[in-house]
A and B are shown apart, each in its own frame.
Chain A
Amino acid sequence: MPSGDLGLVVRGLSVAYAGVPAVRGVDLDVPAGHAIGLIGPNGAGKSSTLLAIMGAIPHQGTVKVNGEDVDGLAPEKVVRRGISLVPEGRHVFAGLSVKDNLRLGGVGRRSQDGSADTLDYVLGLFPILAEFRDRQAGLLSGGQQQQLAIGRALMADPDILMLDEPSLGLSPTAVDTVFDALATIRSAGKAVLVVEQRAEFTVAFCERTYVLHDGTITLTLKPEDATNVDVLTKAYFG
């Protein structure tokens, strides 16, 4: 496989709910070793985009994971092609222990070989999960649950990690923990696609950030745009 294919490529992605368009022809490139941002106001279609990429909602357009077409596959199959989503609102399995949540994350692996190594990697990234491994996930704090949700996604050993508003409702220190981990994951050569509300922070963190508005990508920002994100988006949307 040519290395240029590694990562996620999305072309012409469209989603409609009961005939009402929510995502209209979105193109995205998320290369290996990069973090790419996706920002936009409430209802812009960010979550719909990520869910469509995973095959969790009906959509049109093409999605390529590491050069392989995953269109028409069910989410449980898409995961096995090497892409994982940390869903909006975390959605840890609240009644199960931290350990069992991580075990379940491993169900989506392409191969069960090396799952012990992945677990070590995840626990190294988020030591709190080792400390609380027997605790019920629902009893963790929001920040800890977010770490668990990311850890669970990483247990599938994805090449591409997508996160939907990982900083939502988290304290500033918890946000730092999460983004420090994302930086580590990126430098390990994985492709990261992160949906966020906090524009300036995201633009600074990511190699490239797409601005989604009303289902369409209207702007692409570079880290150097971070300081005047507000100016740029205002100029664009009025």
Chain B
Amino acid sequence: MNQLIQSLVDALSAGATLGLAALAIGLVFGVIRLANFAQGEIITASGYSIIFTWQLGWYVAIPIAILIGVILSLLMELGVFSRMRTATPATLLVASFGLSFLLQRVYELLFSNNVQTAPVAPELAQSVDVGGIRIQLLSVATIVIAGVLLFALIQFLNKSIWGLQLQAAAADFRTARLVGIPASRVIGLSFALSGILAAAVAFVSTVQTGAVGPTFGVPIVILALIGAVIGGIDKIYGALAGGFLVGFATSMLASWLPSDMSNFRDAYVFLLVIIVLIIRPSGLLVSGGTVRT
């Protein structure tokens, strides 16, 4: 019982982290059909920034990490993707792979192949006793951070005129432009938001590991991308839910698989993904196989 609750809280927190990462991918995909693999390198950049600036205080480190995430995300759009507007989603994906590897090499040159370490928010890296059950404080914090961020984002998307423009562009880009929604503005907005989400993911991940290397964001983005696809990448909330599911399932498998099998954890996740995609090619949460025109 005790262990079940612990692993449940951990799984909720892993789900929340990957949900945010997948949402970042889904926001951009919804607008320009780009599954941005280099989202991982935005997470890495924010991660480095947190490691290097943490001693200045969280109130300095976190805003800087957000700023770095947003700036790098916008630079990717301006420097690379905005020049590929007529490219197919497949071409865009390949370009984002290229960008991802390029940035990993840049990080290697700048910060070496070794991980950079710093104790980030060590007070979160402990367990607390809740009615006789030991719970990771970081897991609770992650769930709270993700919850607050999601609430704010949903308010923004549903209530503000900018958020509505983003939703309209994600639903029907041509019609959005016909009613006067500026393409460049909503695209920039989607990249900026995904940069903020990347910083949040970087924060909870650096607290967990205390170390960032050139490929820090890669495993996160792989699972997030899988989650986004499972949930239905072209629906903003589909991506979120899919990311959550993958994070949740991965974490649950890690705690409940017999230890000699836990090396194959990811294989089980991928098996699950393949089954889902065979049954529901357009995503779990998308009704039918709608084709965009």
In the assembled complex, A125 has its CB within 8 A of some CB on chain B: no
Interface residues of B in 270-287 (CB under 8 A from A): none
In the assembled complex, B180 has its CB within 8 A of some CB on chain A: yes
Contact indicator A74/B164 (Cβ below 8 Å)? no
Q: Give 1 or 0 for each of A76-104: 1 = CB within 8 Å of chain B CB.
A: 10011000110100010111100010011
Note all chain A residues with C-beta closer than 8 A to B181.
76, 104, 107-108
Note all chain A residues with C-beta closer than 8 A to B176.
104
Bound-complex Cα distance A87 to B172 (A) = 12
In the assembled complex, A170 has its CB within 8 A of some CB on chain B: no
Interface residues of B in 51-106 (CB under 8 A from A): none
Given A95-B167, A103-B164, answer yes or no on A80-B172 (Cβ-Cβ < 8 Å). Answer: no
Q: Give 1 or 0 for each of B176-194: 1 = CB within 8 Å of chain A CB.
A: 1111111100000000000
12 new A-B contacts, CB < 8 A, other than A56-B174, A79-B180, A105-B179, are: A56-B178, A76-B177, A84-B178, A84-B179, A85-B178, A87-B174, A93-B175, A94-B171, A100-B164, A103-B164, A104-B168, A108-B180
Instruction: Among B172, B177, B182, find the residue whose CB has the most chain A CB atoms closer than 10 A.
Output: B177
In the assembled complex, A156 has its CB within 8 A of some CB on chain B: yes
In the assembled complex, B142 has its CB within 8 A of some CB on chain A: no
Contact indicator A104/B171 (Cβ below 8 Å)? no
The interface of chain B, by Cβ under 8 A from chain A, is 161, 164-165, 167-168, 171-172, 174-183
Q: Which 10 A-B pairs have the closest CB atoms?
A: A108-B180, A79-B180, A91-B175, A75-B177, A76-B182, A107-B180, A93-B168, A76-B180, A76-B177, A75-B178
Distance between B162 CB and nearest chain A CB, rounded to angstroms: 10
Note all chain B residues with C-beta closer than 8 A to A94.
171
Note all chain B residues with C-beta closer than 8 A to A80.
180
Distance between A86 CB and nearest chain B CB, rounded to angstroms: 9
Distance between A34 CB and nearest chain B CB, rounded to angstroms: 23
Contact indicator B167/A54 (Cβ below 8 Å)? no
Bound-complex Cα distance A104 to B178 (A) = 11
In the assembled complex, A153 has its CB within 8 A of some CB on chain B: yes
12 contacts between A and B (CB under 8 A): A75-B174, A75-B177, A75-B180, A76-B181, A79-B179, A87-B175, A95-B171, A104-B161, A104-B176, A105-B180, A108-B179, A108-B181
Note all chain B residues with C-beta closer than 8 A to A56.
174, 177-178
In the assembled complex, A190 has its CB within 8 A of some CB on chain B: no
In the assembled complex, A152 has its CB within 8 A of some CB on chain B: yes
Note all chain A residues with C-beta closer than 8 A to B174.
56, 75, 87
Contact indicator A104/B177 (Cβ below 8 Å)? no
Instruction: Among A95, A152, A153, find the residue whose CB has the most chain B CB atoms closer than 10 A.
Output: A95
Distance between A81 CB and nearest chain B CB, rounded to angstroms: 11
Bound-complex Cα distance A84 to B175 (A) = 11
Bound-complex Cα distance A54 to B271 (A) = 48
Bound-complex Cα distance A87 to B178 (A) = 9
Distance between A209 CB and nearest chain B CB, rounded to angstroms: 24
Distance between B80 CB and nearest chain A CB, rounded to angstroms: 21
Given A91-B172, A94-B171, answer yes or no on A79-B165 (Cβ-Cβ < 8 Å). Answer: no
Nearest B residue to A155 via CB reads B179
Contact indicator A93/B180 (Cβ below 8 Å)? no
Bound-complex Cα distance A152 to B172 (A) = 15
Bound-complex Cα distance A88 to B176 (A) = 14
Given A56-B178, A96-B164, A104-B165, answer yes or no on A76-B183 (Cβ-Cβ < 8 Å). Answer: yes
Nearest B residue to A107 via CB reads B180
Q: Give 1 or 0 for each of A103-146: 1 = CB within 8 Å of chain B CB.
A: 11101110000000000000000000000000000000000000
Distance between B197 CB and nearest chain A CB, rounded to angstroms: 21
Contact indicator B167/A96 (Cβ below 8 Å)? yes
Instruction: Among A94, A100, A153, find the residue whose CB has the most chain B CB atoms closer than 10 A.
Output: A100
Contact indicator A104/B183 (Cβ below 8 Å)? no
Nearest A residue to B182 via CB reads A76
Note all chain A residues with C-beta closer than 8 A to B167.
93, 95-96
Note all chain B residues with C-beta closer than 8 A to A104.
161, 164-165, 168, 176, 179, 181
Contact indicator B161/A103 (Cβ below 8 Å)? yes
Note all chain B residues with C-beta closer than 8 A to A87.
174-175, 178
Nearest B residue to A109 via CB reads B180
Distance between B86 CB and nearest chain A CB, rounded to angstroms: 11
Nearest A residue to B174 via CB reads A56
Contact indicator A107/B179 (Cβ below 8 Å)? yes
Instruction: Among A80, A103, A104, find the residue whose CB has the most chain B CB atoms closer than 10 A.
Output: A104
Distance between A4 CB and nearest chain B CB, rounded to angstroms: 27
Distance between A114 CB and nearest chain B CB, rounded to angstroms: 16
Note all chain B residues with C-beta closer than 8 A to A54.
178
Contact of B180 among A95, A100, A156 (CB under 8 A): A156
Distance between A76 CB and nearest chain B CB, rounded to angstroms: 5
